[in-house]
Amino acid sequence: MFRRFPVSVLLVGAMLTLPGATFAAMPQTEPPPLAATAPSGKPICPVMLDEVEDPSDAAYSDYRGKRYYFCCPACKPKFDKNPRRYIRALEARQRRMGKTRS
């Protein structure tokens, strides 16, 4: 006759039906810092080592407190499978770029 619901479902349902009930917004947290940027300021894809044209529309992964953007959706699973490999290549490219600018 009666259906059993988890207590959390019942509480949420009760909160939604209370007149004048308001919900506080979840606190917004800042995204992690970018791992690498090109001289143009755009992020660099750690897999293809190319600039990411539009980071607002790009896939990304957060790894060890840094955000890595990808130039295409196919790069993300490759990076997620072995992030250290691609990070080493990205850091080597950044060192080379730093030496050529001096």
pLDDT for 69-96, tens place per residue? 999 999 999 999 999 999 999 999 888 8
Residue 100 has pLDDT above 50, yes or no: yes
Q: Taking the model in full, what pTM does it have? A: 0.66
Token duo for residue 85: 């490999």
Token duo for residue 62: 């957060």
Bigger pLDDT: 45 vs 40 = 45
Mean pLDDT, the chain, rounded, equals 80
- Predicted local distance difference test score (pLDDT) of residue 36: 84
| Residue 35's pLDDT band (cuts 50, 70, 90) | confident
- Predicted local distance difference test score (pLDDT) of residue 96: 87
* Closest C-alpha among 81, 87, 76, 78 to residue 46: 87
* Closest C-alpha among 30, 31, 56, 26 to residue 43: 56
